[in-house]
Amino acid sequence: MSYTQFYKKTGLPREVVKWLQSLDLSFYPKNVRRDFSNGFLVAEILCRYYPQHFPVRSYDKGTSLSAKQRNWSQIESKQNLHLMKEVIDGSIHCKPGAAELMVQEVYTLLTNRSIRDVQGPEPDFTDQDYQELLPALARSTASKAIKNNLRMSEVMAEPDITTNQRKTEAILQRHLEHKGAERVSDPGRFKVRPHLVRLAAKNLVPSSDECFASSGDTTSKLCSSSTRSGAAVCFKEIKVHQPVRRCLVNY
């Protein structure tokens, strides 16, 4: 794979891509999120710098959850390597942006070079950036948002019902907040009609003379004020005269 294609496909900074290609790894990480999730490539990179502390033969190439956890537990046990726990967990469960940030952190630790495109101190491993690139009609629903942001391996690694319930509620809350922002920014798409309270507030408050002025014997106007909106609403009372029905009694 050429350098340009590899750079566009991975989304890593240029200096990191050049550094990875110079290490002569056993295979090129064509999919960063998938290939770095089990930790084998990370161990192979560390073996280039510290061959005695990170022997490649002690790491598993498997993609199961147990193999990933074993590999990363060995990497974390080393004293001279300090990686964020959130980044490692996100890389294991293939969260968006986690593996890319992890590779950049390893590059910074091993080369003592800074990267301009490094993300902020609080990573957000969600698919929100991807959803914003999609058209409004193609974005995820509530159930799809839960599926995208809560991996099955994440549930298997921590099967506590309460913990997973809190994660699901947080995902739903974030999804509803984004949907609410879309309704405000584009009300025509959702066919949002103005609320009655807002419509009443736009109308002028009629005077007391107009409210209680009579319009004949059959109709009269009554005025009532709304305490919530502060606007006055006038009602019209209609009097209906019903004819008297006579009963015919047979003797």
d(CA 251, CA 238): 40
Contact 75, 132 (CB under 8 A): no
| Closest C-alpha to 125, from 154, 95, 155, 147 | 95
The neighbour count for residue 209, using CB atoms within 10 Å, is 7
What is the pLDDT, as a whole number, of residue 250? 53
Q: Residue 5 has what pLDDT?
A: 43
Radius of gyration over every alpha carbon of the chain, rounded to an integer in angstroms? 33
pLDDT of residue 130: 86
Tens place of pLDDT per residue across the chain (251 aa): 444 444 445 678 889 999 999 998 988 888 999 999 999 999 999 999 998 889 999 999 999 999 999 999 999 887 677 888 889 999 999 998 899 999 999 999 999 888 765 445 456 788 888 888 888 888 899 999 998 899 888 889 888 899 989 999 999 999 999 888 888 888 777 776 666 666 665 555 555 454 444 444 444 444 444 444 444 555 667 777 777 666 555 54
Write down the pLDDT at residue 229.
44
pLDDT of the residue at 194 = 63
C-alpha distances (whole Å) from 137 to each of 180, 186, 189, 190 are 15, 12, 10, 11
**Quick check: 34 and 94 in contact, CB under 8 A?**
yes
214 phi and psi angles, rounded to 5 deg: -90, 150
Cβ proximity of 50 and 17 under 8 Å: no
Predicted confidence at residue 128, as pLDDT, reads: 86
pLDDT of residue 232: 54
C-alpha torsion sign, points 189, 193, 198, 201: positive
* Burial of 239: CB neighbours in 10 Å, binned 0-12, 13-18, 19+: exposed
What integer pLDDT is reported at residue 103 of this predicted model? 93
Straight-line distance from the first to the last Cα atom of the chain, in angstroms, rounded to the nearest whole number? 112
Domains, the chain, ordered by start: 14-111 (1.10.418.10), 127-186 (no CATH)
What is the spatial distance between Cα 163 and Cα 174, in angstroms, rounded to a whole number?
Answer: 17
